[in-house]
Structure 1
Amino acid sequence: MTSPDSDGLLAEQLLRLTRRVHRIQKRHLEQRGLGVTPAQSRLLRTLAHYGSPPRMADLAARLEVVPRAVTTLVDALETAGKVRRVPDPANRRVIRIELTDDGRATLRELHAARRSAAEEILAPLTDGQRALLGGLLDTLVDGPAAERCGDAPA
């Protein structure tokens, strides 16, 4: 059984690792010169998971941010040519957001930057340690606590 002190230490280690992952990913993004912020890259990745172009309200809900924050991100990405606003064919008053070809190319670069960052972060681990870490993370991501807070996959 773990003590409260060891749980606190684990929580601190997870937070430190998360901050390190963000710093390394940000550096890899900057090295590629994509001109995309981490928040914009998150929106592009989220947008790519929709089968059909979502409404901004859908993106805000998925990203767990206020709609105004999505508007700001979409404005910048639209100016950069990575997304476009399109009218909903069923309701012309509804505006949907879709990736452009440049947005899809940027998304491929973002994936490559994330892979490079992951390789850097995981470099000290053996294959066995990576497999063990993956299993442990799956347990934490998909476990009962994730279900209680709504983070478990549907």
Structure 2
Amino acid sequence: MELQRRPHPHPGSQEHTGDLVMALARRVRRAYADALAEWHVTPAQSRALRVLDSAPGGMRPSTLAEELRIAPRSATEVVDALEHHGWLRRAADPSDRRATTLTLTDSGRDLVGRIEQVRLEASERVLDVLTPAQRRTLHEMLTVVVGEDQ
């Protein structure tokens, strides 16, 4: 039986463009992860910090797991590490003493601000090869593809 070979995508094809988008995302994530290493923070921990920062009243670990789209057990590991570093605290939920609420400490909130700056700088370094006009065009195209509500 002879196998049919798929033609190699040409540079203008959707598959090739998708591959380039994925490669760009990997480069940005790698630059971001390298920058986070200074604080011994993983990308998963930084995402958790950012999610918790958006909930000033705190949130339950199960809600954090849902927001991060990870298993509750994985969220517990992330929370344990963040608590170990002093970036968040666990407390009894005022509405249900059997439940726990997670809130950022002052140092955790400070770290979120520094992480956000590092995240922006990592993206800037990767995109620095583009002219300002190319960056605007890329931004406009990605806004359309991703959708403005993202």
TM-score (norm 2): 0.86
> What is residue 26 of structure 1 aligned with on the other side?
33
> What is residue 122 of structure 1 aligned with on the other side?
127
Superposed counterparts of 1:1-154, under 5 Å:
5=9, 6-30=13-37, 33-142=38-147, 153=150
The offset of 1:51, in angstroms, is 4.0
Return 5+ residue gaps in structure 2 as ranges: 1-7
Whole-Å separation in 1 of the counterparts to 2:15 and 2:143 = 20
Aligned partners of 2:33 and 2:43 also within 8 Å? yes
Aligned partners of 1:56 and 1:96 also within 8 Å? yes
SS in 2 for 1:92: strand
Return 5+ residue gaps in structure 1 as ranges: 144-151
The offset of 1:119, in angstroms, is 1.5
Which has the larger share of helix?
Answer: 1
Aligned partners of 2:56 and 2:103 also within 8 Å? no
The offset of 1:72, in angstroms, is 0.5
Whole-Å separation in 2 of the counterparts to 1:54 and 1:136 = 35
TM-score (norm 1): 0.84
**Structure 2 residue identity aligned to 1:68:** R
Aligned partners of 1:28 and 1:116 also within 8 Å? no
Aligned partners of 1:25 and 1:117 also within 8 Å? yes
**Structure 2 residue identity aligned to 1:45:** R
